[in-house]
Amino acid sequence: MEFLLEGFYDVTWQKCVMYAVGILLIYLAIKKQYEPSLLLPMGFGAILVNLPLSGVVNYEMSGIGEVAGIIEWLYDIGIHASEAMPLLLFIGIGAMIDFGPLLSNPKMFLFGAAAQFGIFFVVAAAVILGFDLKDAASIGIIGAADGPTSILVSQVLKSNYIGPIAVAAYSYMALVPIIQPAVIKATTTKKERMIRMPYNPSNVSKGLRIAFPIIVTFIAGFVAPQSVSLVGFLMFGNLIRECGVLNTLSDAAQNILANLVTLLLGITISFSMRAEQFVNVQTLLIMGLGLVAFVFDTAAGVFFAKIINLFSKNKINPMVGAAGISAFPMSARVVQKLGLEADSQNHLLMHAVGANVSGQIASVLAGGMILNLIPQMIK
């Protein structure tokens, strides 16, 4: 009967903490509906990998030797070996995105760039706090509010904190409707939030829609070669959407592929949430720094819009700048909601969508730049 109690003897307080984390993520996914397709599998996976003598990670069996666990195998194949899962997810994301609002108002590109400020600020802050440069860079990318990019960058750089970074990135993505309104209201006045922006989109030709993902891929390839996998798969998904001859594949990428990969990615990344790696002071620091990066990205977009307004006759609602982060389309919806709260006739959605899809491009370019620069700085 002793073998029935072995599991209980193996439980530590750190594992109990991870059980609580897993249950919290499941609660947020179901009760609060915060990114349920990600937080639910991550939460359940966190429980699975921390169960005593769990069979979902590799383990030794007496008389047999090492037996492969399914979650560790998925992690080794889908993330560690090739970063395949986050990259495949980018195909689905690209197929979902309509770049029309951005192409009809190209100045929205500027907000995508401005809203990446928090990434590089937190990289510097993390180094000051004692993190290695590769870990600091991986932590900074949390500010992009782009889970797949955060996972890929931290994996390529061999960060020691892949699990906490993934949890922070997806948690703050899920909390966009809570965090962003607080930051926006703290950095704008009601008068600024009431600024109306007429929407008179220029016609975007089919040829331009098709050429855009190809052109962006070329630019990324020459400017930030390490971003080609990120940008290329995102733009490939968008090309499938816009070409007009692969409608069935476009629908499959937007729904079947994106949902399946998201499900597998969520439960697979939980391998990096084992108690011995996750429960430490550094995890708390990472969560805090990730929040700082996210807040600074939002604030930077707002202040950049205010700076433009100093020199522009046609004023931009500063809230649109906050949509320059990568959390698409949640951030654009937040801006639309706050605009209507300030003025029931103030419709900012399409402007915010333009900034938001710009942020999607900017975040993967920022990830590529980090992958390009950090290895050279470590040499």
Asked whether residue 101 is assigned to any structural domain, the reply reads: yes
pLDDT at 259: 92
Helix, strand, coil percentages in the chain from 3-state DSSP, rounded to 5: 75, 0, 25
Low-confidence residues of the chain: pLDDT under 50: none
In a domain, 269, yes or no: yes
Q: Please, which residues bridge with residue 66 across strands? A: 60
Tell me the backbone φ, ψ of residue 65, rounded to 5 degrees: 105, -155
List, for residues 273-290, the tens digit of each pLDDT value.
888 888 888 888 998 998
d(CA 186, CA 177) in angstroms, rounded, equals 15
Tokens of 204: 């975007």
204 part of a folded domain: yes
Q: Domain count of the chain? A: 1
Q: What is the pTM of this model?
A: 0.84
Model pLDDT, residue 7: 61
**Which residue carries 């990472």 as its tokens?**
286
Is 54 inside any structural domain? yes
Q: Is residue 6 part of a domain?
A: no
- Write down the pLDDT at residue 1: 54
Q: Angle at the Cα of 180 (from 178 to 181), degrees rounded to 5?
A: 75
Residue 305 in tokens: 């819009």
pLDDT for position 343: 86
Q: Are strands 65-67 and 59-61 parallel, antiparallel or unpaired?
A: antiparallel
| HEC profile of 183-222 | HHHHHCCHHHHCCCCCCCCCCCCHHHHHHHHHHHHHHHHH
Hey, is 327 helix, strand or coil?
coil
In a domain, 291, yes or no: yes
Dig out the tokens for 291 from the structure: 């929040």
| 7-63 pLDDT per residue, tens | 666 778 899 999 999 999 999 889 988 878 888 999 999 999 999 878 888 877 777
- Domain containing 70 equals 11-378
pLDDT score, position 6:
62
The helix/strand/coil state of 33 is coil
The pLDDT score that the predictor gives to residue 228 is 87
Q: Is residue 2 part of a domain?
A: no
Structural domain includes residue 3: no
